[in-house]
Amino acid sequence: MCGHCCNSDLSLLTEVFNDMNGNGDNLISVLQKAQDIYGYLPTDVLYEIAEKTGNSPAKVMGVATFYTQFRLKKVGKYLILLCKGTACHVNGADSIEKAICEELKIQDGDTTEDGLFSLKTVACLGCCSLSPVMMINEDTYGSLTPAKTVEILREIRGREAK
């Protein structure tokens, strides 16, 4: 319907819409559940949500782009959330970002060519006393140095190459 190349399996959304009718769930929750399913929010999914929730596509897009949690592009297998909150800033988050960007040859918001890593900077992961901090998928890494960061990334890449 959107004329896009995404071709998502929209039947996966059925349950989300069924739930929605039950307890008056709002658009944000629906988008969150959809993102849990697809890993990001493909365009055809956004259109489908607009139709089923009775909102205009513009409104759905408006909400999806307002909140930083929502992703409109596919992310890599490992999503790096690098904290750039105040405590991490004071303890050198910039140098960690530089190290990641140089090692992976990507910028904030990008995904590596092989689809392994994506980098996203965020403001505070709530682990400020371990700053600088990053999360890779579910795991939190604290007290980072540029060297330690590169080591962690190479370790993951090595594991994946096997």
Contact map string, positions 56 to 95, toward ligand FES, x by CB under 6 A: ---------------------------x-xxxx-------
DSSP labels, 32-66: HHHHHHHSS--HHHHHHHHHHHT--HHHHHHHHHH
> Which of the residues 14 through 43 are near another protein (CB under 8 A)?
26-29, 31-32
Kind and range of the H or E element at 156?
helix 146-161
The one of ligand FES, another protein, none whose footprint includes residue 31, by CB under 5 to 8 A per kind, is another protein
Contact map string, positions 131 to 160, toward another protein, x by CB under 8 A: x-x------xxx--xxx-------------
Q: Is 117 helix (H, G, I), strand (E, B) or coil?
A: strand
CA–CA gap between residue 56 and residue 17 (Å, rounded): 16
Contact map string, positions 114 to 153, toward ligand FES, x by CB under 6 A: ----------xxxxx--x-x--------------------
Q: Is 78 helix (H, G, I), strand (E, B) or coil?
A: strand
